[in-house]
Structure 1
Amino acid sequence: MNRLIRTVAALAWACLLVVACAGPGGQQQTSTAGGGPLEKVTYLTSFGNFGRDAYAWVAKEKGFFREAGLDVDIKPGGGTGDNISKVEAGAAMFTPVDLTGLLLARGNGGAGSVVVVAGIQQRTMAALISLEGNGITTPKDLEGKTLADSPGSVVRNLFPTYAKLAGVDATKVTWVNGAPANLIGLLAGGTVAGIGQFVVGEPTVESVAKGRQAVVLPYSEVMSDLYGNVLITTTKTAQEQPDLAKRFIAALIKGLVHSIDHPDETGRILQKHVPASAPAPAAAECTLMGAFVRPEGSGDVVGTIDTKRVARTIELLQDADAMPSGLTPDQLISADLTPKP
């Protein structure tokens, strides 16, 4: 009987070890390879669970977070404004947001307790997307057309500046409200001639439009200094937990690099963790995003932030009367934490 009891006890202990050491992406990870406890972190994607945000799932699945001593809970984000609010409220520790949207929020009195700790996309992915046959092939063609986007969208809020630089009379363009999840349907159904979207949304738009080609007007063609998404956390986290922040940043950037280098695998990983997602469009988004994460010929380390470029962006927004004067890059960027060139 004693031998039976010892055998059962040994088997139970072995099962506990297996659960505690679940592989990358497992839901029961409680310790690092070295045996230390994992620190729990909540992360919000930029918006939903599209291919453009799959790099966080890659970092989890490949064990990059676990190797950094972190147990990361990934939740779908709701866009720049909502994500900033949730990080400030303590509902999440890290999230990517559009830098231009963050600058507009800070310049107008909001987002006072968050800082930028890494760059995700070195160029803005903001764009207007139409469909072939809608009479839009150049920015000037937007005049007389109806576009849709959510009222708080960075694409929509930045449109007056884009229009001015692109030679478009913004007063001749009509905007209607549309929920982010419904925008592509409004475009495909012919309700509007174009929508606010990210460049990488092109494959998804075409999959819904069923045979019609997308026409993309990237904001980066007239505003080259603008960054896309950047990673933020609270000022308190940056100051009081810099080691944790550095480990998280390094692991997330590692996942970002892997995702754009292995888009097909990334699509499969995203579907594994988010069954409703489709691998092919996710992989296509990752492929397109590569040029924004690692611009050709830039030589920049992935994740870096150039404060001179940020200063020029601030100046651009101020010249367009989109924000008041007074904001400087050092008020917003945690230089001690951002990856170095």
Structure 2
Amino acid sequence: MIIVATQQLGGFLGRTFLQAGLAIAVSVGMAAATPAAAQTKIKLMLNWKYQGPQGMFFLADDRGYFKAEGLDVTFDQGNGSGAAVPLVANGSYDMGFGDINALIELAAKKPEDAPIAVHVMFNQPPFTIAVKSESPIKTPKDLEGRILGGAANDGALKLFPAFCKIAKIDCSTVKMTTMQPNLREQMLMSGQVEGVFGYVNTILFSAKLMGVKDEQLRFINFGDYGMDLYSNAIIVSQKMVKDNPKAIAGFLRALNKGLVDSLKDPDASVASVVKREPLLNTPIERARFDATLRSEMNHPEIKRIGLGNVDMERLKKSIDILVDANSLPRTPAVSEIFTPAFLPPADDLPKTLF
């Protein structure tokens, strides 16, 4: 049984009441797509350094879709998929492209502060522990007594306690070290750590840039052990939901157009990223883009609900997994974690990626 403290319950009820009222108000305000006379500034933190899969954001920007909605959007590079959640919560950013599981944990502990997800782009669990293929680590049980590392805000690292419980391994025997994101693959291949946390494609393609071949790596994927979790989503602050719901709806309309364009012309999408970071390797980033579509965004459910939306029952199961595995103080309602109220019409959401 989960006991909700009085203070937590108060925050939860206030948050739920706010969302219930907004569901009605937003449905009216979203009907018109006419941009405001003045540009509304939005500051958004991305999940990681500039990479090919972020092209839909920049293509939407380059083609004027945000401007047409009356928005002036600034994108900052991220430091891990978990980093955006507290920074949106404390007001440093209006929006973030961050891990919905980190949001669930915050909502369970501090519902009055937690942002809410409005568009889930990564609908398959990319969380992994990468090891060298020559390593004796082949199963989760083999991780016991080993040295693992990751960036402090990495989504997979933050989910490791839950993974340990579900995979029935003793986390206390694992020695953990944190590192700068750009050192992760180097430290793995040099033997400074025996495994690293991250997203499969992020690690795979960053390693390629070092000359590491695919067959030199092996992955222990969380999703293979019952953690069928959603991943990165557009999250927004409670303040923005309250003060400017029209800007959220406009942002998602523009982003969806950029996403649709990216699916039609992946080269243009990747070029928009390279335009902002000329030192990127274009062929690698294009391959990373394609791999992300296949393994992180292409859950079969999108044929039914569209890319950006979620299966509410699946999200509920995800919440339950995290609450149980991490012994969180309360179970957030699905409506605290995600709302479809700001999404474009269902017929406009991509139903297939290829």
Higher RCO by CA contacts (8 Å cutoff, separation 6 or greater): 2
**Contact 2:99–2:233, Cα closer than 8 Å, also in 1:** yes
Could you tell which deviates more after superposition, 111-120 or 240-249? 111-120
Q: CA deviation at 1:148?
A: 0.5
| Number of the residue aligned with 1:18 | none
| Number of the residue aligned with 1:150 | 151
Structure 1 distance, partners of 2:301, 2:35, is: 39
Q: Name the SS for the 2:278 alignment partner.
A: coil
| Number of the residue aligned with 1:328 | 333
| Number of the residue aligned with 2:351 | none
| Number of the residue aligned with 1:293 | 297
Q: 1:35 to 1:334 in 2, by over 3 A?
A: closer
State the one-letter code of the partner of 2:234: L
Q: 1:326 to 1:267 in 2, by over 3 A?
A: closer
Q: CA deviation at 1:195?
A: 0.5
Number of aligned positions between the proteins = 309
Q: 1:249 to 1:189 in 2, by over 3 A?
A: same
| Number of the residue aligned with 2:51 | 50
2:291 is aligned with 1:278:
no
Identity %: 22
Q: Name the SS for the 1:55 alignment partner.
A: helix
**Contact 1:149–1:177, Cα closer than 8 Å, also in 2:** yes
Q: CA deviation at 1:226?
A: 0.8
Structure 2 distance, partners of 1:215, 1:198, is: 13
**Contact 1:46–1:80, Cα closer than 8 Å, also in 2:** yes
Q: 1:86 to 1:47 in 2, by over 3 A?
A: same
Structure 2 distance, partners of 1:248, 1:227, is: 21
State the one-letter code of the partner of 1:112: D
Structure 2 distance, partners of 1:122, 1:35, is: 32
Structure 2 distance, partners of 1:318, 1:137, is: 28
Q: 1:223 to 1:286 in 2, by over 3 A?
A: farther
| Number of the residue aligned with 1:319 | 324
Q: Name the SS for the 2:210 alignment partner.
A: helix
Q: CA deviation at 1:204?
A: 1.5
* Structure 1 outlier segments of 4+, above 6 Å: none
Q: CA deviation at 1:224?
A: 4.7
| Number of the residue aligned with 1:91 | 92
State the one-letter code of the partner of 1:134: S
Could you tell which deviates more after superposition, 192-201 or 54-63? 54-63
1:74-113 correspondence to structure 2 within 5 Å: 74-109=75-110, 112-113=113-114
State the one-letter code of the partner of 2:63: K
Structure 2 distance, partners of 1:256, 1:213, is: 33
1:25-174 correspondence to structure 2 within 5 Å: 37-109=38-110, 112-174=113-175
State the superposition RMSD in angstroms: 2.7
**Contact 1:122–1:293, Cα closer than 8 Å, also in 2:** yes
Q: Name the SS for the 2:209 alignment partner.
A: helix
TM-score normalised over the length of structure 1: 0.80
Q: 1:259 to 1:145 in 2, by over 3 A?
A: farther
Q: 1:82 to 1:173 in 2, by over 3 A?
A: closer
| Number of the residue aligned with 2:223 | 220
Q: CA deviation at 1:243?
A: 1.7
| Number of the residue aligned with 1:180 | 181
Gaps of 5+ in 1: 1-32
| Number of the residue aligned with 2:212 | 210
TM-score normalised over the length of structure 2: 0.78
Q: Deviations over 1:8-66 (max 9, x none)?
A: xxxxxxxxxxxxxxxxxxxxxxxxx9995543322221122122333211211233223
| Number of the residue aligned with 1:250 | 253
Q: 1:246 to 1:60 in 2, by over 3 A?
A: same
Gaps of 5+ in 2: 1-33, 347-354
Q: 1:90 to 1:171 in 2, by over 3 A?
A: closer
Could you tell which deviates more after superposition, 127-136 or 75-84? 75-84
Q: CA deviation at 1:198?
A: 0.6
**Contact 1:88–1:113, Cα closer than 8 Å, also in 2:** yes
